[in-house]
């Protein structure tokens, strides 16, 4: 359980944007961009949990309702971030980052609508790692080793199968490739 909490996607996104700012001069070019990314990728998704607890109708849906609400709040954050990325002067690399989240969120949402369950948790960890390795420094590829305990945690807690974890890891990699082809 500690692994799942320590690797929650909103916090991984925050760490990723901070690493971009401090490790690469051409990705996050302004501290305000850190604030915008944090608001959209960290604060917005986390807000789903207190909202679910406060609204009785949503609270009655339990963990499944919580998960659905978190996906919705996350997708709203991804849309807002993407709009910001193209309207307030984000670097092309940061635009790729925003689009990667948007595309990944759309894929996860569509999967959920069709009854498929790729791991959003693995997606939220694998995406930033892949992005950092490709656009910031190849040494960040070693961080992919963190996916082992994340995937183990998902399987051990019976949240997902190993295949769902692998698919969850592939979603952001493919989304990033598509985003890079569009932007770069």
pLDDT, one tens digit per residue, over 76-107 is: 999 999 999 999 999 999 999 999 999 999 99
Residue with tokens 């490790």: 23
Residue with tokens 């949990």: 49
Residues of the chain with pLDDT under 70: 1
Question: What pTM was estimated for this model as a whole?
Answer: 0.92
Residue with tokens 């959209």: 40
What would the two tokens of residue 57 be?
């109708």
49 neighbors 9 (Cβ within 8 angstroms): no
Per-residue model confidence (pLDDT) at position 138: 97
Per-residue model confidence (pLDDT) at position 129: 98
User: How many domains does one find in the chain?
Assistant: 1
Q: What is the 3-state secondary structure (H, E, C) of the chain?
A: CHHHHHCCHHHHHHHHHHHHHHHCCCCCCCHHHHHHHHHHHHHHHHHHHHHHHHCHHHHCCHHHHHHHHHHHHHHHHHHHHHHHHHHCCCCHHHHHHHHHHHHHHHHHHHHHHCCCCCCHHHHHHHHHHHHHHHHHCHHHHHHHHHHHHHHHHHHHCCCCCHHHHHHHHHHHHHHHHHHHHHHC
Per-residue model confidence (pLDDT) at position 6: 76
What φ, ψ does residue 121 adopt, rounded to 5°? -65, -50
Q: In terms of residue numbers, what domain contains 87? A: 2-183
């Amino acid at each position: 359980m500690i692994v799942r909490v320590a690797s929650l996607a909103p916090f991984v996104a925050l760490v990723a944007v901070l690493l971009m700012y401090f490790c690469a001069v051409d990705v996050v070019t302004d501290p305000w961009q850190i604030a915008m990314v944090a608001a959209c990728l960290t604060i917005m998704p986390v807000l789903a949990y207190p909202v679910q607890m406060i609204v009785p109708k949503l609270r009655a849906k339990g963990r499944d309702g919580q998960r659905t609400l978190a996906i919705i709040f996350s997708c709203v954050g991804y849309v807002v971030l993407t709009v910001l990325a193209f309207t307030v002067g984000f670097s092309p690399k940061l635009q790729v980052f925003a689009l990667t989240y948007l595309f990944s969120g759309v894929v996860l949402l569509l999967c959920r609508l069709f009854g498929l369950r790729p791991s959003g948790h693995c997606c939220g960890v694998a995406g930033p790692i892949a992005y950092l390795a490709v656009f910031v420094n190849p040494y960040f590829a070693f961080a992919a080793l963190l996916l082992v305990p994340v995937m183990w945690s998902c399987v051990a807690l019976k949240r997902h199968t190993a295949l769902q974890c692998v698919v969850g890891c592939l979603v952001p990699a493919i989304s990033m490739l598509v985003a890079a082809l569009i932007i770069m």
